[in-house]
Amino acid sequence: MSDTGVHSNEIHQHGSETIGNARLAEAYRSSTIRLLSHRQTAIAEVPGFDRLRDTGREIKRHTIENLDFYLNQFADSVERNGAKMHWAATAADVCSIVVDIVKHSTAREVVKAKSMVGEEVELNHALEAAGIRPIETDLGEFIIQLAGERPAHIVAPAIHKTREDVSELFVKHIKSERTVVPEELTAIARRALREMFQKAGVGVSGANFAVAETGTVVTIENEGNIRMCTTVPRIHIALIGIEKIIPRLADLGVFLRLLGRSGTGQKLTTYTSLLTGPRRQGEDGPEEMHVVMVDNGRVKTLADPKMREMLYCIRCGACLNTCPVYRKIGGHAYGWVYSGPIGALVTPEFTSIGEARELPFASSLCGACREVCPVRINIPDLLLHLRADAQEHAPKKSESLLSERFMFRMWAWAMRHPILYRVGSRFARMGQGLLARKGWIRNIPAYPISQWTKERDFPALAPRAFHKRWKKL
């Protein structure tokens, strides 16, 4: 692992570990299939869902193109509501702002709702280093905090854990009774967490959307823990990536319908909270509210007209569930907090292409991610753009890259010389007789194709060449 905590260039090694672990592979397979099938059912109920996606995309495009205006409008609205605005350019800035607020409050425990920005900036480490105890309250995040891991999925952080795994963690860390009944496991977590909400002086949350015209922070969830984090403690801090802005409250309906259905296949998630400033006379809620707007690489992406579209993402997770690569190698193989097709874009953009050079290649470019994306981000196109970038920034051409390049050059050359191609394929057909079984070759000893057959089978050439069949037809 590098100093920055990004180890995305080890994707091959970590991906192989998931593929070789039958339990993990099955956990990813079954969970992603379930989420995708729920999505399918949920979107089929909405006539004109594709028109809704177009509307969502257009709102995002307009907002991102005019982000400076909407950020200012949001900041003015937040302050008018009595909350305090903070601007954080880097991960270190986010951490120091939050640590300062907590220290100033004298709280020593912080309850946290699920926040990908919080993961991204490693807020828990910063809090712990300052002697403050961060407590994750989202069930999935609570589980991975106990396991000392990072999220394996942007919507379902503990997607890779079975109930047996969760039971083990609870027995070990919170001395609970042993059970694998999901309701009982949830009740154990609830009992452990309820007391924390009452004790903690500060609650930290993320945000799904931030409404510019009203200064409203919108959170959506199924467990109710975000409501507790944002209302029970005396101080609420919301961490928000600058791309989460939407212009008007009227736009929210579009995204609420897109997000729940695309992510978990729900018409709406169980709780939608609209937080507009700290509590007023006669209200419940926090006495103080702080909003931290986070750049941490986003402005660089905004400045690149080719990559800007990436900022339309509403973090629904649908592209992960449908991606044949994510489903095989799992979330941790991507080496940072974001995984799947969107992670393959976000990680090189928010960290550096050098640290995540391999990620844009972790895609078959099949287009399944673009098909399901609720705001129609052209992920394959952006991945291709990053691939070109990765090649330019490669410190030195690796052996496998050079041999791949040599093979493709040879292939292109042979394709331009039909006689040669035919003679070559005839020899290959004769040669494969020794290796092929039932249309597949298990092992080709010659490098570099041996690298392919180390992990998977190679399709044998058809017994009769296409051009011969074509002539006959």
Closest CA to 325 of 2, 4, 19: 19
Task: Determine which residue in the list 212, 375, 382, 383 makes contact with ligand SF4, applying CB under 6 A.
Answer: 375
Binding mask 332-361 for ligand SF4 (x = CB under 6 A): ----------x-------------------
In whole angstroms, how close is the CB of 251 to ligand SF4 at the nearest point?
Answer: 15
Q: H/E element holding 93? A: helix 91-105
| DSSP secondary structure code for residue 244 in this structure | G
Size of the site for ligand SF4 (CB under 6 A): 13
DSSP for 273-299 reads EEE-SS--TT--S-SEEEEEEE-TTHH
Is 190 a binder of ligand SF4 (CB under 6 A)?
A: no
Contact 258, 52 (CB under 8 A): yes
Contact 77, 212 (CB under 8 A): yes
**Span near ligand SF4 by CB under 6 A; candidates 59-67, 98-106, 313-321, 438-446:** 313-321
Is 374 a binder of ligand SF4 (CB under 6 A)?
A: yes
In whole angstroms, how close is the CB of 43 to ligand SF4 at the nearest point?
Answer: 12
Which is closer to ligand SF4, CB of 156 or CB of 373?
373
Distance CA 468, CA 473 (A): 9
Is 368 a binder of ligand SF4 (CB under 6 A)?
A: no
**Span near ligand SF4 by CB under 6 A; candidates 41-49, 67-75, 97-105, 314-322:** 314-322
Cα–Cα distances (Å) from 342 to 59, 92, 323, 369, in that order, read 20, 23, 10, 9
Is 151 a binder of ligand SF4 (CB under 6 A)?
A: no
**Span near ligand SF4 by CB under 6 A; candidates 188-196, 327-335, 352-360, 367-375:** 367-375
| DSSP secondary structure code for residue 313 in this structure | -
Is 331 a binder of ligand SF4 (CB under 6 A)?
A: no
In whole angstroms, how close is the CB of 229 to ligand SF4 at the nearest point?
Answer: 23
Tell me if residue 82 falls in helix, strand or coil. Answer: coil
Is 35 a binder of ligand SF4 (CB under 6 A)?
A: no
Cα–Cα distances (Å) from 246 to 105, 208, 304, 350, 372, in that order, read 31, 10, 20, 21, 21
DSSP for 365-418 reads --SHHHHH-TT---HHHHHHHHHHHHHHH-SS--HHHHHHHHHHHHHHHHHT-H
**Span near ligand SF4 by CB under 6 A; candidates 199-207, 241-249, 310-318, 388-396:** 310-318
Is 314 a binder of ligand SF4 (CB under 6 A)?
A: yes
Q: For residues 377-396, which are near ligand SF4 according to CB under 6 A?
A: 377
Contact residues for ligand SF4, defined by CB under 6 A: 313-319, 342, 372-375, 377
